[in-house]
Structure 1
Amino acid sequence: MFKLFSKDFWDVTARLILRNKIIILIAIIITTLFFSKQWDNMRFTYTEANLLPDEHEVNITYNNFLKTFGEEGNLIVLGVKDNSLFTIEKLNAWNKLSDSFKNYKEVETVISITDLQKLVKDTRNEKFNLEPFIKDSITSIEQIEILQNELFHKYPFYDNFLFNKETQTVRTAIYLNKDIVNTSARKDFVIDILIDKIETFEKDYNLDVRVSGMPYIRTLNSQNIIDEINLFVIAALLVTSIIFFFFFRSFRATFISLIVVCIGVMWTLGIIGLFNYEITVLTALIPPLIIVIGIPNCIFLINKYQHEVKLHGNKVKSLQRVITKIGNATLMTNVTTASGFATFILTESQLLKEFGVVASLSILAIFILCLLIIPIIYTFLPHPKDRHLEHLNKRWIGGFVNWMERMVKQKRITIYATSVVLLIVSIIGIYQIKISGSLVEDMPKEAEFFKDIRFFEEEFNGIMPLEFMVDTKRKKGVMKLATLKRMDELEDLIIETPELSKPISVVSLVKYSKQAYYNGNPKYYQLPTSQENSFILSYARNSSSDVDLLNNFVDSTGQYARITTFMKDIGTDKMERIEENLQNKIDKVFPKERYNVTMTGKALVFQKGTKYLVKNLAISLSLAILLISLFMAYMFRSGRMIIISLIPNLLPLLVTAGLMGYLGVPIKPSTILVFSIAFGISVDDTIHFLAKYRQELQANNWKIKVSVYGALRETGVSMFYTSIVLFFGFSVFTISSFGGTVALGALVSATLLFAMLSNLLLLPSLLLSLERSIANKEVLREPAINIIPDEDEVE
């Protein structure tokens, strides 16, 4: 099969491309139009990325909870911390703002101060009635003072739900319709209605309204992703084109390269639409990635074309040689890069699978576009002028190559010592790496919605839902006093945990019922005794008022109960400790033969997903190394060469991992990608160098030193060019407002810079030091794929 990629194959390919250029251009235009039609199928994600497989135990538990109680992430909260709120005008305006949201079909219910009800004992009818705290609008300061006294001192049921009695922060809870929470209708409500009304209110009453809740955070976060796609694409085009022009000093060559990568981006977006994938934080990175990876292809092809033109002046012969001599090399390097991304397809995470599919197909597509468009466009253009070829004689590039050669000749021990020190220091750093399962850590720190998250964490201990589902294994088992007492014990531990908010459950409602039975005395806000339970529950059964409240916390059969708390944005280590403490309490309090208690919620699912991805990181990276090693083995037919080639590519990965440990950059969904991406790209330089090295060996009668220095001089310039483009190209991601994207860009850039130096200094040093064991024809047999044809093979 691989014999297809021989001299004859590329000769035929070159002739087909150059003789059928009009047909090929028309085919590219038609394909581009086809892909542009697929853009309509692209959709932006309206949920957090699910990092776990559908059949994973954590997902099954979460889905079971949703089936019983419905979507848990449908709460939006509005909050105000301002003493001036407690004036007649502003408090009425706040209540009016809250009530106004009840008129929208997207809203299921709104709970504000005006909706708070007192549970009042009706002795004559032996039932509880509900009376509002505020019957009509506020008309006097005395009413406000009574309201404050009642809310902050007499009714603990509502404490930490709609107000913080310590700071007197007040909030309103808006529950969205569960059917629209994960659809585009949520975005329309949040952007066009909610934000607009709040901004008007703030302007009219000079109050700072804080907004949070998972639907709100998701919406603005998704909008940031959408905005940054355009930013990344423009920035990547700008940076790479400036660097390209700096190297080539040719508007023509720069413009041709931009055309190629822009078409590549159009194809990438078309692939996403074709597969009906969502635009996530990861897939949003692929369009600028294609620009960054595509430009080096353009550099290799255009540089070779100009080199050939300068050599013999024949334009047609030069273009044919570009395809025959560079085609194999660019194919192999793009295949290895695509392989690094394709390994994500083999993971069980749908998020990573989609990223792997789109990225690997897009990389192969950009290779095809470069190979077809660049030679064809140059057939229509005049012969390059002398000024277009001046960059081939740059003295400073020659100085850089001379420095590398001098280092390899004279400072080999220094290179090895530096590598060993870096290795030891990096291994120490690796042991300091932490895992982060935070839902909000990567979100834009300067965004208002992120500041609001921190506000609600401080005032109400967080907005990330953590849920407990108690299965009593029998109908109406929830309202048994024994069950309520067990739930109360669990809630006591939740209250004692600083990272968790006060829990909400049927237990609170039963305590409130006892308080109401004793005429609202707050000291009776506690579970009833077995003696009290029967007559308090008889009052509750005669009341229709508690039915709606019960529906939120108990299912229709009375078998399942729900305890809801909210957690702060905490690290994985803390979360695991809290989870362990809670699980120990559950195991102790709830006998397994009578109860089944599960912990779930978005925050927990995301944290478990991050840990799962870490395992997948090891798998995907191992697969990338194995796959690329097999490529090297087939290309060079030498086991020793595989080992030699892997060392300079694995060292940069270890250095980067060490840096993450020292700089406190945790392993998380965004930074997990660094290693497979960097390895897949950096190994391209190794392939180019070793291919040229083998060619030099044959030309120089297997003389190692001459061949190493010849390969270094020949490939050093192009490796430097491409590495600089890749370094600055990936650096574009550091302008992101997402912490994870910034870390990804910085880490990949640093890794590729280390990889370039490693391939230009450590790799040649290893070849020279091990010359006796590798400098023979048995070790370097005739390759299966001749990546760089000999000069006399191409006529």
Structure 2
Amino acid sequence: MFKLFSANFWDVVARLILRNKITILLGVVVVTILFSTQWKYMRFTYSEANLLPDDHEVNITYNDFLKVFGEEGNLVVLGVKDTTLFTVEKLNAWNALSDSFRNAPEVETVVSIKDLQKLVKDQEHEKFTLEPFIKDSVSTIAEIEKLQDQLFNQYPFYDNFLFNKETKTVRTAIYLKKDIVNTPARKDFIVDNLVKKIEAFEKAEGLDVRVSGMPYIRTLNAQNIVDEINLFVLAALLVTSLIFFLFFRSFRATLISLVVVCIGVMWTLGILGMLRYEITVLTALIPPLIIVIGIPNCIFLINKYQHEVKSHGNKVKSLQRVITKVGNATLMTNVTTASGFATFILTESTLLKEFGVVASLSILAIFVLCLLIIPIIYTFLPYPKERHLEHLNKRWIGGFVNWTVRMVKDKRITIYITSIVLLIVCLIGIFQIKISGSLIEDMPKKAEFFQDIRFFEEEFDGIMPLEIMIDTKRKQGVMKLATLKRMNKIEEFINETPEFSKPISIVGLVKYSKQAYYNGNPKYYQLPTSMENNFILSYAKNSTSNVDLLKNFVDSTGQYARITTFMKDIGTDKMERIQENLQDKITNVFPEEQYNVTMTGKALVFQKGTKYLVKNLAISLSLAVILISLFMAYMFRSFRMIVVSLIPNLLPLVVTAGLMGYIGVPIKPSTILVFSIAFGISVDDTIHFLAKYRQELQANNWKIKKSVYGALRETGVSMFYTSIVLFFGFSVFIISSFGGTVALGALVSVTLLFAMLSNLLLLPSLLLSLERSIANKQVLKEPTINIIPRDDDDENTSVSEEK
């Protein structure tokens, strides 16, 4: 009954499409215009991708820190490593450049060498005052030499903050206003103000200025994502249209396909805007993905049309059969592909949910567009010319299919041995896979801002902030000498860890106060004793100059303090070990009954997020397997067929995972998508092969070998076509400057290639070897959904029916 309903349904669909051509085309135009009105709501992300759920413990800790101290990623740094900087003209020019940012509405404060001040003891008024190292500007070399001696040798409080005394590298710190860090105003300042002034300075002074800091990195990285969307779309259009033309040798058919997928991209962008989702490094991949997935739909529909026209010459009948026969098959394959993406919706990661929603909706949308537009356009066009039909008789494709038939017939043992060896070798490789939680690993290695990251890592030991927040559980508890001593022990541990930069906290300011109390003698740069503390605190309380210095290190109540350090870009495993060691030190130093100490910061949040996503990988892949298995169970009504069909599709995933382990590609946010995407796409071939196999069994009186070879010859061509398009389509991501995107494209391409070979060699071999247990009428019952309807007459089924 369902079979009858299905057949009647597609007959009705075909009549509706072909009888309402103008109305449908106008409808597509109207919907496209409506989607285009949503483009203005597309937003490019202005913050790092948060890979954790909002209610995750790590996120809660980070948000608690932000409530006390505000946004911590608001620092932009400028650096120069050039001995000629220490000349009168260039040093004054450098200070003038730093001053030029001071009045920008986006800037909270600027700290340059000119802003550094000495803490001086005013014995008469029993307080500390601040005196600048440079009052207005320097006018002689002698003043510069004196400045260098003071900064590099006499005031350790500033060491490794604005200069590196060993390499003479100097930097300026620009603190943006915390409320604009995650808004478009940040981009306006970086692009229109900061970058332009630096370029003018470099040209005028002949100095190479390095720029870094999270706001700067995020801005330029986001701009790269935007630029690559256009690059990927153009590359995907070029590659897939070229392959399409090589298959069909028809500019007309190629142009029709390009129009369809371009409209699909417009709808995808409209969906992004309509849902108010941000464009991230993941959602930026969806437009070219739609092109890559949409072109095979066009190939099957147009190929079927041309085959039908060549067979009987009736254009209307041909277009009707395109819809009734290929429409159902294409729907099933698009549904399974969309299911692979949709599994991400069930994860708790907002980033993956948004990707899953947009990708799955866009795949279904491109199916609808293909089914509506292609048959309708061909009703207005003349019959294909003879040269356009020559591709239907390509001998070299037939040679490839004949090779697969010979392998299955004569080399089944070889196929099994090869599969088992691959499985064992790749399982060993899986245990070598590493997890990466680096914020910058996927960033463009050749980009200037990435080189600047490495520069600041080398000169100042990193730019990824790690924060330690100390809750003393009482007001003014931070200034207790016992608390300061405990904080100092943590700082000593941080200083001994080469992956961390010099820590910044209230401890350094208290040490500086003692040095000032002893008239600037650098040997007194240390925490005061109990007796000294009383004298020094009395000076500090009488000083208004300390208030601004304190506010960045201690909250207004004096209950909370922070220790800020910066991390180098290190691997996740190493970072976890360092974090565990630091946590052990914190636990030993701070009694839990007196203090509540937490570690947080963007570097830590991202690392934890990557670990969390690995769990989501297992969940999403398991969901994809279960969902598609249920789908196949509903179609074929056979548990045994589900098991047989899963083996050739899971093997390529294991092979890919093993390759990742051997060649050193880590699990990270970009590469975790590979498995669910590839499984959702590769299982299409299995579904169509089994559907055709069941049809061949019925036609051949349940003769198993004849049916397997018949199904292989019929579906082999379409599998080859699909795999070629998908392989080269996903390969366009290799041109990306983002390492994760390159890995995604390469891994999906390789996986789909293995999946094609697995479905052409391993799947039919399994059917032949297990013929007694699965290839019978009881096991292969009439399917619930008849994917490939039989022709009304005895003509041969077109290869375009299979996808």
Amino acid at match of 1:569: D
Residue 470 of structure 1 and its aligned partner are, at CA, apart by 0.3
Q: Aligned in 2, Cα 1:2/1:57: closer, same or farther, shift over 3 Å?
A: farther
1:756 aligns with 2:756: yes
Aligned runs of 1:67-146 on 2, under 5 Å?
Answer: 67-146=67-146
Q: Aligned in 2, Cα 1:74/1:793: closer, same or farther, shift over 3 Å?
A: farther
Describe the superposition over 1:516-544 as per-residue Cα deviations: whole angstroms up to 9, x where unpaired. 00111111000000010001010000000
Separation of aligned partners in 1, 2:171 and 2:776: 78
Residue 794 of structure 1 and its aligned partner are, at CA, apart by 10
Separation of aligned partners in 2, 1:247 and 1:299: 9
| Maintained 8 Å contact 2:554/2:562 | yes
Separation of aligned partners in 2, 1:724 and 1:13: 30
2:432 matched to which residue of 1? 432
2:512 matched to which residue of 1? 512
2:782 matched to which residue of 1? 782
Describe the superposition over 1:553-606 as per-residue Cα deviations: whole angstroms up to 9, x where unpaired. 000000000110000011110110011011101110101111000000000000
Describe the superposition over 1:155-199 as per-residue Cα deviations: whole angstroms up to 9, x where unpaired. 000001000111110000000011111011100100111000001
Amino acid at match of 1:483: T
Describe the superposition over 1:316-353 as per-residue Cα deviations: whole angstroms up to 9, x where unpaired. 11111111111111111100000000000000000000
1:567 aligns with 2:567: yes
TM-score by length of 1: 0.99
Residue 2 of structure 1 and its aligned partner are, at CA, apart by 6.6
Separation of aligned partners in 2, 1:105 and 1:14: 61
Amino acid at match of 1:238: L
Amino acid at match of 2:174: I
Q: Aligned in 2, Cα 1:151/1:35: closer, same or farther, shift over 3 Å?
A: same
Amino acid at match of 2:65: F
2:679 matched to which residue of 1? 679
Separation of aligned partners in 2, 1:689 and 1:710: 10
TM-score by length of 2: 0.98
Amino acid at match of 1:272: L
1:744 matched to which residue of 2? 744
Amino acid at match of 1:310: K
Aligned runs of 1:587-666 on 2, under 5 Å?
Answer: 587-666=587-666
1:332 aligns with 2:332: yes
Aligned runs of 1:250-289 on 2, under 5 Å?
Answer: 250-289=250-289
Report the 3-state secondary structure (helix = DSSP H, G, I; strand = E; otherwise coil) of the residue aligned with 1:598: strand
Amino acid at match of 2:362: S
Report the 3-state secondary structure (helix = DSSP H, G, I; strand = E; otherwise coil) of the residue aligned with 1:356: helix
2:579 matched to which residue of 1? 579
Separation of aligned partners in 2, 1:278 and 1:629: 33
Amino acid at match of 1:200: A
Aligned runs of 1:257-656 on 2, under 5 Å?
Answer: 257-656=257-656
Residue 4 of structure 1 and its aligned partner are, at CA, apart by 8.4
Separation of aligned partners in 2, 1:566 and 1:745: 33
Residue 103 of structure 1 and its aligned partner are, at CA, apart by 1.3
Separation of aligned partners in 1, 2:554 and 2:73: 17
Separation of aligned partners in 1, 2:440 and 2:620: 25
Separation of aligned partners in 2, 1:222 and 1:386: 49
Q: Aligned in 2, Cα 1:368/1:4: closer, same or farther, shift over 3 Å?
A: farther
2:194 matched to which residue of 1? 194
Amino acid at match of 2:27: A
2:172 matched to which residue of 1? 172
Q: Aligned in 2, Cα 1:330/1:405: closer, same or farther, shift over 3 Å?
A: same
Amino acid at match of 1:293: I
Residue 688 of structure 1 and its aligned partner are, at CA, apart by 1.2
Amino acid at match of 1:671: T
1:214 matched to which residue of 2? 214
Report the 3-state secondary structure (helix = DSSP H, G, I; strand = E; otherwise coil) of the residue aligned with 2:552: helix
| Maintained 8 Å contact 2:3/2:786 | no
Amino acid at match of 1:665: V
Report the 3-state secondary structure (helix = DSSP H, G, I; strand = E; otherwise coil) of the residue aligned with 2:473: coil
Separation of aligned partners in 2, 1:271 and 1:117: 54
Separation of aligned partners in 1, 2:138 and 2:772: 94
Residue 136 of structure 1 and its aligned partner are, at CA, apart by 1.5
Report the 3-state secondary structure (helix = DSSP H, G, I; strand = E; otherwise coil) of the residue aligned with 1:215: helix
Amino acid at match of 2:625: I
Amino acid at match of 2:238: L
| Maintained 8 Å contact 2:52/2:612 | yes
Aligned runs of 1:147-166 on 2, under 5 Å?
Answer: 147-166=147-166
Report the 3-state secondary structure (helix = DSSP H, G, I; strand = E; otherwise coil) of the residue aligned with 1:470: strand
Describe the superposition over 1:43-75 as per-residue Cα deviations: whole angstroms up to 9, x where unpaired. 000011000000000000000100100000000
Describe the superposition over 1:183-220 as per-residue Cα deviations: whole angstroms up to 9, x where unpaired. 11100100111000001100111100000000000000
Q: Aligned in 2, Cα 1:646/1:731: closer, same or farther, shift over 3 Å?
A: same
Describe the superposition over 1:632-688 as per-residue Cα deviations: whole angstroms up to 9, x where unpaired. 101111111101110000000000000000000000000000000000000011111
CA RMSD, 1 decimal: 1.0
Amino acid at match of 2:306: Q
1:51 matched to which residue of 2? 51
Amino acid at match of 1:608: K
Amino acid at match of 1:85: L
Separation of aligned partners in 2, 1:548 and 1:519: 22
Amino acid at match of 2:343: T
2:801 matched to which residue of 1? none
Separation of aligned partners in 1, 2:492 and 2:720: 62
Report the 3-state secondary structure (helix = DSSP H, G, I; strand = E; otherwise coil) of the residue aligned with 1:372: helix
Report the 3-state secondary structure (helix = DSSP H, G, I; strand = E; otherwise coil) of the residue aligned with 1:191: helix
1:66 aligns with 2:66: yes
| Maintained 8 Å contact 1:77/1:212 | yes
Amino acid at match of 1:766: L
1:228 aligns with 2:209: no
Report the 3-state secondary structure (helix = DSSP H, G, I; strand = E; otherwise coil) of the residue aligned with 2:68: helix
Amino acid at match of 1:395: R
Residue 791 of structure 1 and its aligned partner are, at CA, apart by 1.5
Report the 3-state secondary structure (helix = DSSP H, G, I; strand = E; otherwise coil) of the residue aligned with 2:129: strand
Structure 1 window deviating more from structure 2 (703-712 vs 619-628): it is 703-712
Separation of aligned partners in 2, 1:592 and 1:794: 82
| Maintained 8 Å contact 1:321/1:794 | no
Report the 3-state secondary structure (helix = DSSP H, G, I; strand = E; otherwise coil) of the residue aligned with 2:178: coil
Report the 3-state secondary structure (helix = DSSP H, G, I; strand = E; otherwise coil) of the residue aligned with 2:583: helix
Describe the superposition over 1:214-241 as per-residue Cα deviations: whole angstroms up to 9, x where unpaired. 0000000000000000000000000000
| Maintained 8 Å contact 1:5/1:785 | no
Residue 776 of structure 1 and its aligned partner are, at CA, apart by 0.9
1:714 matched to which residue of 2? 714
Residue 279 of structure 1 and its aligned partner are, at CA, apart by 0.3
> Among the aligned pairs, what percent are the same residue?
84
Separation of aligned partners in 2, 1:381 and 1:125: 96
Separation of aligned partners in 2, 1:68 and 1:469: 9
Separation of aligned partners in 2, 1:309 and 1:685: 25
Report the 3-state secondary structure (helix = DSSP H, G, I; strand = E; otherwise coil) of the residue aligned with 2:260: helix
Report the 3-state secondary structure (helix = DSSP H, G, I; strand = E; otherwise coil) of the residue aligned with 1:546: helix
Separation of aligned partners in 2, 1:363 and 1:694: 28
2:800 matched to which residue of 1? none
| Maintained 8 Å contact 1:114/1:132 | yes
Separation of aligned partners in 1, 2:395 and 2:714: 15
Report the 3-state secondary structure (helix = DSSP H, G, I; strand = E; otherwise coil) of the residue aligned with 2:491: helix
Separation of aligned partners in 2, 1:588 and 1:508: 22
Residue 792 of structure 1 and its aligned partner are, at CA, apart by 2.5
Residue 5 of structure 1 and its aligned partner are, at CA, apart by 6.2
Amino acid at match of 2:365: A
Separation of aligned partners in 1, 2:705 and 2:322: 28
| Maintained 8 Å contact 2:52/2:349 | yes
Structure 1 window deviating more from structure 2 (356-365 vs 711-720): it is 711-720
Separation of aligned partners in 2, 1:682 and 1:633: 17
Separation of aligned partners in 1, 2:700 and 2:11: 26
Residue 431 of structure 1 and its aligned partner are, at CA, apart by 0.3
Report the 3-state secondary structure (helix = DSSP H, G, I; strand = E; otherwise coil) of the residue aligned with 2:172: strand
How many residues are treated as equivalent by the alignment?
795
- 5+ residue gaps, structure 1, are none
- 5+ residue gaps, structure 2, are 796-803
